[in-house]
Amino acid sequence: MTKHLPPYAELAARLRERIAKESLPPGAWIGTEVAIAAESGLSRMTVRRAVQALVDEGLVERRAGRGVFVRGERSATRRLRVVAGNLLWTPAVRVAQAVQEGAAAAGFEVSVFDGRGDLGAVVAELRALPGSGAAGAVVMSQHDPSFNRALAALVAADFPFVVADQTLSDLPGASVASDNRAGGRLAAEALLAAGHRRLAFLGDLAADTTAERAQGAADACAEALVPPPLRLDLPGQRFANWEPAIRERIGELLRARPRPTALVCSCDAVARHAIRALAARGVAVPRAMSLTGFDDDPIAEWGSPALTTVRQDFAEMGRRALALLAERLSDPTAAPRHEAVPVALVERDSVAPPPRRVAACRRV
């Protein structure tokens, strides 16, 4: 059964075939959009969309006041899109910058969409990508079912994309993320090395990256023959206001018996909220409770105490995402794959040995 193409795609295919059949050289004039519309019997809007598709492929170029011309292969430029949930989030900025820098060297043009914390706007942008004229996109994950459904629609439309900061397991799409399980293990090992034997994990466990970090922390505890971390879930999307929920979870942590003496946080922002919630209850970090973050955002070093955290290389994440996207564009039949970016522990001031009374009780 032949797949039906929309009118603009059929026209683009005919123009592409004409260029190949007539062996039109670089610089050859194809016509004006008005003339192409009259010849094809299609609307100017449809013709403009068809021409834009060929422009994005690097096959033709528009010349103001003159029309559409065959473009030389060396001067081909394709447009890429970076879709970010919120550029106030430093990791998203680092990924976008790395994509832009690498794309310029590879002959791509990049535009960046900032959702400004609005998940609905991000989903709408994803659904509009197939008709946007972009050749492909690097998308920062939102860890939400509506986001995943929008990705599924891109797969169905055969639109090239790579998701950054998420491991795609249920969709046939390319992705790149930090080695989150290894990072969770590193964070827990730092606390175990300081003498802690009862840990807790705080974060949005519905997000696959957070769940992987929690599993890494559990791995470290199992290897050390200590109880698995107490799991304190923070349901909600990436840019939700977690502070009220964190206060509740810290209350649960302090009421637990036996009470954990150390806390692995899913990210640096959660860690900072946790420190404030602990301080409000008279629990000082690290004297009475040790704590780790994840990301190595600027706030990790600037706050007091400075956070022991796991550093993610978001610039490398952006570079690898661009490489995966370029791979897909050059070979659309290649199977999508996932890449993991190594992480590293950064030791600062938020980890100390457990309180003496806890250590004494453990020795009895």
Could you state, in order of their start, the residue ranges of all structural domains in the chain? 7-74, 77-177+314-341, 180-312+346-363
- 180-312+346-363 matches 7-74 in CATH topology: no
Cα separation, 165 vs 227, whole angstroms? 29
- Give residue 239's identity as a one-letter amino acid code: F
pLDDT of residue 42: 92
pTM value? 0.75
Cα separation, 78 vs 97, whole angstroms? 18
CATH class of 77-177+314-341: alpha beta
Query: In this structure, which CATH number among 2.40.10.500, 3.30.1330.200, 3.30.70.560, 1.10.10.10 belongs to the domain 7-74?
Result: 1.10.10.10
pLDDT one-digit tens code per residue, 187-197: 999 999 999 99
pLDDT of residue 236: 66
Positions in the chain whose pLDDT score sits under 70? 1-4, 64, 72-77, 236-240, 357-364
Using a 10 angstrom Cβ sphere, with 0-12 exposed, 13-18 middle and 19 or more buried, the burial of residue 96 is buried
pLDDT of residue 77: 59
pLDDT of residue 73: 53
pLDDT of residue 174: 94
pLDDT of residue 364: 30
CATH class of 180-312+346-363: alpha beta
* HSE-CB for 156 with a 13 A CA cutoff: 8
pLDDT of residue 118: 92
